[in-house]
Amino acid sequence: LAEECSDCKNRERDSELPSSPPPSCPFNTDSSEQQGNTDDKKGTMASMSEKKFDFESVDLKGRVAIITGASRGIGRTCALTLAKLGCGIVVAAKTTEPKANLPGTIYTVADEVRQFGVKCLPFKLDIRDAKKCQECVQKTKEFFGRGPDILINNASALWWQRIEDTPINKYDLITQINARGTFAITRACLPYMEKQKFGRIICMSPPLAPVGFNGRTAYNISKFGMTMVAMGVAEEYAGENICAHSLWPATVIESYASINFKLGERAMWRKPEILADCVVSLIAEDQHFTGKMLIDEIYLRKRRAFKDQDFIKYRCVPDVEPPKLLLQESSDVWIYRGDVKKIEGDKDRTRRAKL
């Protein structure tokens, strides 16, 4: 939502995050025409397909996917979704012991994946370590007898603070995880994909944009770095059946990040399955569809003929359509977050910034 009507502003004045727009709001629309216009301006989408896509018909038997940050949340959902279609999975993440606020490990997800009758390799990976990224890919080849066909760059660190409130060590951390880590694991996978003449790389990162930096400068530098990795792969391997995209949600997605950072109520979120379905669809695209900076909802509308009713299944609260908060293009500050131990202070700063 690039703008707000007066009804929305009055309704949100005392809250940290906007809720769903009231019926009187002129931006309370989900029309595919409006969404399509937004995407066409960015030049990131091909023409719409009129035929509904059968996600369950995609056959990934014999394929292998490395998914970073797969011990919970979006990464775990992608792992299970691909496993259902016959794909071998590498659960690449740091967590080997569960925590109270971060349940799930590489081993628990691996056990879930194996229930679909596919092989799974749990691999402890801190993507800041380039040698471990290389080792992860080598172990994949040894375990499955082939290198990775698919790479989902999902591991990421969140930091939504102003420049003056961003210590250099925090800047280094998020850029090492988001931009450098994505580059390192992608670089390690590409020789195998080139040899196998097939590769699909998806970075969970936003489209490049010249706005929305207030309180997100360091974060945007790191996340745009992920997007640029995808764009670089797409250009460098054009015509070699190695495709790469960035993929970003229109809404907040239910995960332990949205829970622990208190990013609104469940009614404001969609399930991670919407991103997992996009991943399946992108893997199935032919090699001529590459180098796109995608928003999940817009992609599904324009490439897979989704209508309003098709998105209902992704709602966390069935009767409430979540607001498209991550489509906001305004340079106005949206929300401060950074340290889960300082949530209340960040929430208070966000409220004061809106006054």
Pairwise CA distance, residues 181 & 294, whole Å: 21
- Residue in 319, 328, 335, 327 with CA at minimum distance from that of residue 296: 327
Judge whether 314 counts as a catalytic residue.
no
Length of the chain: 355
- Residue in 220, 289, 277, 240 with CA at minimum distance from that of residue 44: 289
Q: Which residues contact 280 (CB under 8 A, 6 or more apart)?
A: 55, 58, 81, 82, 85
Q: Which residues contact 275 (CB under 8 A, 6 or more apart)?
A: 74, 77, 78, 204, 247, 249, 253, 296
Q: Long-range contacts: 56-63, Cβ < 8 Å, 24+?
A: 56/84, 56/85, 58/85, 58/280, 58/281, 58/283, 58/284, 59/85, 59/86, 60/85, 60/86, 60/87, 60/283, 61/85, 61/86, 61/87, 62/86, 63/87, 63/88, 63/149, 63/150, 63/283
Catalytic residue from among 107, 171, 192, 219: 219
Q: Contact 74/275 with Cβ under 8 angstroms?
A: yes
Task: Indicate which residues carry an active-site annotation.
Answer: 219
